[in-house]
Structure 1
């Protein structure tokens, strides 16, 4: 009968307590940043969707701004107003709506996460 040998340190696997705490800190930090960033990204998607709708349905600058303003009131978008849109026509005669804006998230003290959006839709 063979005697059972005790497990040696080199054969043990797993995570140490310090490693567990560090991974937990990283996961919590990413969750906090993600929870603050997701609403800004969703608002940008709504702005783009409203700008596309306005560019396709409007024929004049006033119509494009009015269509965007209605969508802005419905979706509660505050970053880009209808007056912030740059409306022009391209060489083919299609209306092009451009916008750019910046949003920042204060993370901790002087540290900010900055989003810069610059888009042009037809």
Structure 2
């Protein structure tokens, strides 16, 4: 009975070296992709904010685009310019629509593509 008890106790549990390497690679990949994704989402928030401000401040298409371009210069927005906006009026409210995509190179021909599309109404 003493031998059997010793044999069971010596059996180890946990990750193997290959398991640790695999988990480490997954963690590094997630960190790298996440690190590149955060600025993309921060830029989207800045674009949304600039579009809201432009819709509030402008009443004509050129005014809205100029207001967006001013905000884009301040917030360092490079994915969308005023000329890319679709500006319309719905029930006397200015509606600004935008769409764009950003990519992150993963490895070789593989890319992670983010596609953004949104519209905003001015709240008077």
Query: Could you state the TM-score of these two structures normalised by the residue count of structure 2?
Result: 0.87
In structure 2, the residue matched to 1:103 is 102
Displacement after TM superposition at 1:56 (Å): 1.6
How far apart, in 1, do the equivalents of 2:49 and 2:73 lie? 14
Moved segments of 4+, more than 3 Å: 2-5, 9-12
Matches within 5 A, 1:66-105: 66-90=66-90, 92-105=91-104
Displacement after TM superposition at 1:103 (Å): 1.2
In structure 1, the residue matched to 2:42 is 42
Matched residue pairs, number? 120
RMSD, aligned CA = 2.0
Matched, 1:31 2:31: yes
Q: What secondary structure does 1:18 align onto?
A: helix
1:28-83 CA-to-partner distances (Å, cap 9, x unmatched) read 01111111111111111110110011112221212211111110010111110011
CA shift in 2, pair 1:60/1:25, >3 Å: same
CA shift in 2, pair 1:7/1:57, >3 Å: farther
Q: Structure 2: state its 5+ residue gaps.
A: none
